[in-house]
Structure 1
Amino acid sequence: MSERSGIRNSDRGNFPCSQSTCQPDEQYSFAGRSRSQRSRRTFLRGASAVAAAGIGLTSAVSAASTPSSQYYGDYENVIDVVEAGADNTGNESITPVLEDLRADETLLVFPEGRYYMDEQFRFTGFENFGVVGDNATLVPANYRDFDGPQYRLFRLGVSYRPGRMLRFEGFDIDQTAPNTGIRTIEANVSDRLEVRDITVRGEHDSGTWGPGQFNITDPDGWGIVERFRAMDGARWVNNTLYAGNRWRGPIGIEANQNRGTLEFRRCGLGAFPNNGLYAAGGDGKIVVHGGLYRNSNGANVRVGGRNSEIRWPTVQVNDTRPEDRTQRGIRIENGRNIEIYGAAIEITSPKPTSHAISAMNTCESARIDNTRIRMSGSDVNHGIVVSPDCGETIIVDTSITHETAGGYPVWIRDSDRPEQVLAENLTITGRAGDAGGFRDGIRCERDNCRLSHVDIEQPGRDGVDRNAIVNMGDNLTVYRSELRASQYPYVDLGSDALVRDSVLESTDGNEAVCLYSSAENPEFKKNQLVDGIRDLGASEVTTWNNTYE
């Protein structure tokens, strides 16, 4: 049985602590709910329609074709909210009318107009419910005028009492007036969630929760959030009426309790202070397909879960506010078999820890494939960073153009884990500096790494000395690679490394290889080592069939 929330303001109180290029549009309908399978349908209009719904009448009324009419066959009751008494001029709150209309197996249709809301609409435990707009605009009340919980327009399902099937689509949210930033929708659904074509206009300026939160509560459930856009971002909380009551401020889209499969397709988020798309806390599968994510603090795309995919997103960091501390492109964590494919990441206004991609300690396994990274700016910044406790990581068919003041295009951090980090068909170019001492193309501190068909150019900015690869681990293999750098193409401080069938050349006339005294048992076979090897006391050096010109 669905919950109609007899106490309208039951959620009143303090805020909780928590918080492009794609295929053509695809439309999904509820499984097992096609038009031909539904024999009963009511299209209800006016005050008499409300009464009919209350006593279960089913007088069918034909409706004009609208964008929402394709869904009428999925519901027993279809209600035009204006005919049922909702004001579409933006002058009177529609929430009381929606509460009277709330019912299971019901689709609420919002014709063109402006709909003012000064109170949360809540509905939980439903089987099948929908809210769709035909060129409709929702207008939130000013924060001070909002009645009850001041941080949501629609709360549809909760974690302990989710809805089963939900559709919500076709709305602009006008937050351009001062202090009207609010969460548009929070949805917890067990079986099927469909959210499409939601555009939030205006900066989220009240300090309350960000525009959307979505979770699939059942491992077999599925959901899609498509074209959900809030490109104007949000203010840091201390610049809002809610200063001092939260950390940082709003998240763009949150999905941190997801257990099923949840896809975010062609969404767009601007600068949010507490992550853009934040979907790292659940154990379900997250799919990010396309979309534009820009200038959020924390991370622009932050994903976890099992077998999650981040495919073809565009991530840009081209602006930094005074409060921003980290603006990472993509951050993956809390999961296994997470894949980044086809990402385009451009960072031109970096902060010191704004890595393009971070594979965090809680990431059990990851693959970065067919990804393009471009980085520039006057600060130290790193490209792909593999954290110490991250598991197996594969980087393939990827290019990094790195032109910051310093930093590592790839940093494989020191680890006790035995799993391999593999880079294959990786290209690193660009003129970077050595600010902070970060002056290596690939910094490898981990054991059992393999670099195959890697092409690295590190000429250095304004005469800076940079190296192509610096190895500090054991059992590194470099195979069929081309390494060129202004200082040394290859530097070894580890043990049992093998460099084979590769070309190594210093562009400033230094040796191809520098071996420190800590290096043990390095092997160089069938390479072109231009100007030879500089040996500073390495032990058991093996060379075979190399050339030195």
Structure 2
Amino acid sequence: MAVAGASLLGLSTTGASTASASTGQYSHHYDDYSNVINVVEAGADNTGSESITPVLENLRADDTLLVFPEGRYYMDKQFRYTGFDNFGMVGENATLVPANYYDFDGPRFRLFRLGVTYRPGRRLRFEGFDVDQTAPDTGIRVIEANISQDMAVRDVTIHGQHDSGTWGPGLFNITDPSGSGIVERFRAPDGAAWINNTPNAGNRWRGPIGIEANQNKGTLTFRHCVVGAFPNNGLYAVGGGGRVRVLGGLYRNSNGANIRVGGDNSEIRWPTIRVDNTRPEDKTQRGIRVENGNNIRIYGAAVEVSSPMPTSHAISTMNSCQSARIERVRVDMRGNDINHGIVLSPECGEVTITNSEIVHETVGGYPLWIRGGNTNDRVLAEHLSVSGRAGDASGFRDGVRVERDNCRFSNVDIAQPGRDGASRNAIVSTAADTTVYRSTLRASQYPYIDIGADNLVRDSDLESTGGRHAVCLYSSSSNPSFRKNRLVNGIRDLGASGVDTWANTLE
């Protein structure tokens, strides 16, 4: 193991510096660096009285690990280091204390800027820091990192609301398609104030993002992160075309979207998203939003919405999402506002929803809304359960609303009993080539309504809990087909053309 260089530190006993650092929890990383420096022994104040930035600037060097022993480290100016090959900073029970908005020297953007897109670092380690933002008008980007090959950011916890109105706590990008990075246990649970409630009012839109990856080209993983209520997205990982992986974590109450992801082959696995509080400024608090990519996968997510806004869908696939798979997901929506569950945008590509559950207990809305557009890329829903007592406010009364051609439902169980006597339907299709197969449909109004063309219901069980017909066919319906179904109270035909029925059981 190399010791810290005397010429770098200007110290006569550099071995002592390395020896005292080597007792810490990150000592197993020391062999990865030529220089390992205890920043306190190199002159940094750990009582929170003096800014440490000038000392860090003197220590800045390639192939160097800066070790922060236990203490409080005040910073009133950005530390910037770019173009390095191998650099790291680790805290041993270390707390960073940013200056308030008015006392911060220079651009009020960041504490640490490590690599830029046009001159990134190659390898970075940043681990083990608490950040004390509990004082008024504090809150600043803790770390902004643009790294080409290998990035590890772990165990960073921000205490207190980000109430200065500056950029949000973390921005991370991998600049090379062959590179990879991990951001693990990065926690900002107290969120941020809206911009107009900060000293930076009028200078930005909305306010900060929690965690941002806006130009990522490599593979970037966010594992077990915690993000509270931010005014401009919780995790925003869109842009650059790289692959994004979100593994676990808790994301709550952010405006825009709590998790917003793009990039080919990106995945969101086992996070918990909760929307249980809405501030007066919040306009939309979506759970998960996916876009700008092919083969995006959402697996095992739990989206819980109990304080909904009218447009805060639980899961949205946007028009730029070329294909997606939603699997083993549970959506639970409750409250006294109209709200929708899983919403597929009109021009999004092929989507599969499988082995998932939607519980919908709002005053109105569609648990699953397949919006119509100019695409007929297939939507497949199989082994999907839709339940809950919802209302029919503003006419949003369908459990599944199908407005796109070429949709298939296989082994789905939809129950729409209605809240307080509301009229709910199980599936309504206004499109062509809808297939319902081996499914159970229950609704207080009609289990199935057809307003489209060439649609098929087969081997299914349909019953209205309100004593109506199993099926309602409007005059615009053409060539609907019903084969080998159980249809309680039969079919109500309001003038459909080309109706085909075969081997149905009518009760």
Are 1:234 and 2:195 matched, yes or no?
no
Match of 2:85 in 1: 127
What does the per-residue CA deviation read over 1:134-188, in whole Å, with 9 as the maximum and x for residues that have no partner? Answer: 0000000011111111120000000000000000010000000011110000000
Q: Is the 8 A contact 2:18 2:37 kept in 1?
A: no
1:503 to 432, 446, 461: 461
1:421 to 349, 373, 379: 379
Q: Report the TM-score when normalising by structure 2.
A: 0.98
Return the letter of the residue paired with 2:304. Answer: E
Are 1:373 and 2:331 matched, yes or no?
yes
Q: Is the 8 A contact 1:41 1:58 kept in 2?
A: no
What SS is found at the alignment partner of 1:198? strand
Match of 1:243 in 2: 201
Give the distance between the partners of 2:398 and 2:324, measured in 1 at CA.
23
2:10 to 51, 68, 85: 51
1:358 to 294, 298, 316: 316
2:164 to 176, 183, 206: 206
Give the distance between the partners of 2:395 and 2:17, measured in 1 at CA.
74
Dislocated runs of 4+, deviation >3 Å: 57-64
Where do 1:396-411 residues align within 5 Å?
396-411=354-369
Match of 1:41 in 2: 2
Give the distance between the partners of 1:323 and 1:66, measured in 2 at CA.
45
Match of 1:142 in 2: 100
Q: Is the 8 A contact 2:386 2:399 kept in 1?
A: yes
Are 1:296 and 2:254 matched, yes or no?
yes
Are 1:257 and 2:218 matched, yes or no?
no
Return the letter of the residue paired with 1:42. Answer: V
Deviation at 1:415, TM superposition (A): 1.8
1:471 to 414, 429, 433: 429
* Residues 508 and 59 (structure 1), Cα distance of their counterparts in 2 relative to 1, 3 Å cut: closer
2:50 to 83, 92, 96: 92
What does the per-residue CA deviation read over 1:366-414, in whole Å, with 9 as the maximum and x for residues that have no partner? Answer: 0100000100100000000000010000000000000001000000000
Match of 1:384 in 2: 342
What SS is found at the alignment partner of 1:418? coil
Return the letter of the residue paired with 1:291. Answer: G
What SS is found at the alignment partner of 1:406? coil
Q: Is the 8 A contact 1:488 1:514 kept in 2?
A: yes
Give the distance between the partners of 1:95 and 1:535, measured in 2 at CA.
77
Return the letter of the residue paired with 2:298. Answer: I
Match of 1:3 in 2: none
Match of 1:30 in 2: none
1:216 to 174, 178, 187: 174
Match of 1:541 in 2: 499
Match of 1:305 in 2: 263
Deviation at 1:504, TM superposition (A): 0.2
Match of 1:412 in 2: 370
Are 1:487 and 2:487 matched, yes or no?
no
Deviation at 1:280, TM superposition (A): 1.3
Match of 2:489 in 1: 531
What SS is found at the alignment partner of 1:310? strand
Q: Percent identity?
A: 70
Return the letter of the residue paired with 2:174. Answer: I
What SS is found at the alignment partner of 2:172? strand
Deviation at 1:418, TM superposition (A): 2.4
Are 1:462 and 2:420 matched, yes or no?
yes
Deviation at 1:256, TM superposition (A): 1.0
What SS is found at the alignment partner of 1:373? strand
Deviation at 1:202, TM superposition (A): 0.4
Q: Is the 8 A contact 1:168 1:196 kept in 2?
A: yes
Give the distance between the partners of 2:188 and 2:16, measured in 1 at CA.
40
Deviation at 1:49, TM superposition (A): 6.2
Are 1:393 and 2:351 matched, yes or no?
yes
Where structure 1 has 5 or more consecutive residues not aligned to the other structure, the ranges are 1-39
Return the letter of the residue paired with 1:274. Answer: N
Match of 1:68 in 2: 26
Q: Is the 8 A contact 1:41 1:60 kept in 2?
A: no
Return the letter of the residue paired with 2:420. Answer: D
Where do 1:266-305 residues align within 5 Å?
266-305=224-263
Deviation at 1:548, TM superposition (A): 1.0
What SS is found at the alignment partner of 1:319? coil
What SS is found at the alignment partner of 1:336? coil
What does the per-residue CA deviation read over 1:245-290, in whole Å, with 9 as the maximum and x for residues that have no partner? Answer: 1000000000010000000000000000000000012200000000
Give the distance between the partners of 1:145 and 1:62, measured in 2 at CA.
36
Give the distance between the partners of 1:533 and 1:52, measured in 2 at CA.
90
Q: Is the 8 A contact 2:9 2:59 kept in 1?
A: yes
Deviation at 1:208, TM superposition (A): 0.3
Q: Is the 8 A contact 2:36 2:67 kept in 1?
A: yes
Q: Is the 8 A contact 1:327 1:350 kept in 2?
A: yes
Give the distance between the partners of 1:414 and 1:284, measured in 2 at CA.
29
Match of 2:407 in 1: 449
Give the distance between the partners of 1:61 and 1:225, measured in 2 at CA.
27
Where do 1:7-46 residues align within 5 Å?
41-43=2-4
Return the letter of the residue paired with 1:187. Answer: A
Give the distance between the partners of 1:61 and 1:285, measured in 2 at CA.
38
What SS is found at the alignment partner of 2:454? coil
Give the distance between the partners of 2:18 and 2:41, measured in 1 at CA.
13
Are 1:175 and 2:133 matched, yes or no?
yes
Match of 1:31 in 2: none
What does the per-residue CA deviation read over 1:185-208, in whole Å, with 9 as the maximum and x for residues that have no partner? Answer: 000000000000000000000000
Q: Is the 8 A contact 2:391 2:422 kept in 1?
A: yes
1:185 to 107, 119, 143: 143
Alignment length, in residue pairs? 505
Give the distance between the partners of 1:58 and 1:447, measured in 2 at CA.
72
Give the distance between the partners of 1:347 and 1:478, measured in 2 at CA.
28
Give the distance between the partners of 2:222 and 2:29, measured in 1 at CA.
21
What SS is found at the alignment partner of 1:41? coil
Return the letter of the residue paired with 2:439. Answer: S
Return the letter of the residue paired with 2:165. Answer: G
Give the distance between the partners of 2:373 and 2:269, measured in 1 at CA.
28
Where structure 2 has 5 or more consecutive residues not aligned to the other structure, the ranges are none
Where do 1:333-348 residues align within 5 Å?
333-348=291-306
Deviation at 1:51, TM superposition (A): 2.2
Q: Is the 8 A contact 2:18 2:38 kept in 1?
A: no
Give the distance between the partners of 1:49 and 1:96, measured in 2 at CA.
14
